[in-house]
Structure 1
Amino acid sequence: MRDIHLNGYIDDEAWFGDEITPEALHGMLYPEGEEAQGDLRIFLNSYGGSCNAAVRMFDDLRAYPGNVHIIVSGTAASAATVLAMAADRLEMTPGSLWMIHDPGVMVWGNERDLEEAVRLLKACKESILNVYGRRCRKARDEIGAMMRDTTWMDAGQALQDGFIDGIADLGGGVLDAACCHEASLAEAKEKVQNWLDRWRPARGASTAQAPQAPGTPVIQLQKRLALITPTKR
């Protein structure tokens, strides 16, 4: 069994150096010159990101020929929970956190643009509910309400609600201690908020530009769809 560690924000491209991209995951699944048929164990710690990228990664994991065992070690928040649903078996360590919420979109324009953005958000939420429904035992409208309320869960609650299949056994050397973390709710919320702040146009800057990390190109924000938590003022 091969081990893969996924730690970072989920995005279609690497802009800041701390992203997990679909291309990067694909390279881990099918390493050049190595056997890519065996079972995988994936340790996941991610505070969310792009819905589009998460769906692409979900599809890639579902297409992998071997068994995929995902263990959330730290946090699976927002778009990371979509990726995690691709697992044949999905577990969390006892100290980990799980968070689901409604998708968000950054958009500007006229009335037609905003109406289109609302339609996009509704379609995105329905697609996420389709993914959750493959595993979760709750009714679709109940899951939808949990997303609307932004729901954080510990491993026990995530298991009870059917989002995961079990709580990872830490005994007998099954898991390396270095892979097991106890997540702080305050820190996890801050990291989720960091994703939103990263793409929020700086005060006084053009709304067509994102804040830049050194050496990264300017990108357009219009209709950039992500699973993000709205800022609370």
Structure 2
Amino acid sequence: MAGSGDITVWINSPGGDCVAAAQIYNMLMDYKGNVTVKIDGIAASAASVIAMAGTKVLMSPVSMMMIHNPMTVTFGDSGEMQKAIDMLASVKDSIINAYEIKTGLSRTKLSHLMDAETWMDANKAVELGFADEIMQRTATDEVDVPQVSMLYSKANVVNSLMDKVAAKCAIKSEPTRKTKADDLMDRLNLIKNWR
């Protein structure tokens, strides 16, 4: 913080402690100069929160970003479990704050993306507002970057697979035949008389 001028932060991290990420995020947000974040590998979990502090966020065309719900390990009775659930809900709200400021997406949309453990390639991250640009070669080496975007959701993949399994395993019911009450009585009497 004693320095001056613009800085560049390179991120290639699977994430980690969300409290540490919050402190790094806050330090970068408080920095007086421009903060350019460059994601050259992955910015997953807590690392995605740090990335949101960039004045400008650039992603390599081969990089990924992943967002998901916070996690913890807890031991104890139901009261301790409820405290952990409440704490995770508060942590999720604080993470959504960072995503909302950067992307402008609604809190509900961001919550759903986190619930689904969402993986984004560079194009999808730019499309959703998590990143501003895709890193390019210098002006002398202009290249076309593919405009295909990818969004991977673990929940959507599992649901799709379950739908396909259910369709394959479906038991086709026979059309029901209407039986008259008199026919049933005749059968019942036949069984009684057979003894």
TM-score, structure 1 as length reference: 0.58
Identify the match of residue 120 of structure 1 among 77, 87, 97: 87
2:30 is matched with 63
Instruction: Specify the code of the residue in structure 1 equivalent to 2:109.
Output: E
Residues 43-192 of structure 1: matches in 2 within 5 Å?
A: 43-172=10-139
Shift of 1:64: 1.3
1:148-176 deviation per Cα after TM superposition (whole angstroms, max 9, x unaligned): 010001000000011111112222489xx
Query: Comparing both chains, which one has the higher relative contact order based on Cα–Cα distances under 8 Å and sequence gaps of 6 or more?
Result: 1
Q: What CA distance in whole angstroms lies between the structure 2 residues aligned with 1:150 and 1:39?
A: 33
In 2, the alpha carbon distance for the partners of 1:55 and 1:96 equals: 22
Q: Which protein has the larger Cα radius of gyration, Structure 1 or Structure 2? A: 2
- 1:65-110: CA deviations, max 9, x gaps? 2111001000000000111111111110111000000000111011
- What amino acid is the match of 1:47? P
* RMSD of Structure 2 on Structure 1 (CA): 1.5
Letter in 2 for 1:55: A
The unaligned stretches of length 5 or more in structure 2 are 142-195
Query: Which amino acid in the other structure matches residue 13 of structure 2?
Result: S
| Matches of 1:143 and 1:153, distance apart in 2 | 13
Describe the SS at the equivalent of 1:74: strand
Q: Report SS of the residue matched to 1:60.
A: helix
Quick one: percent identity of the two aligned structures? 36
The structure carrying a bigger helix percent of its residues is: 2
Whole-angstrom CA distance in 2 between matches of 1:132 and 1:112: 31
CA pair 37-173 structure 1, distance change in 2 beyond 3 A: farther
* TM-score in terms of structure 2 length: 0.69
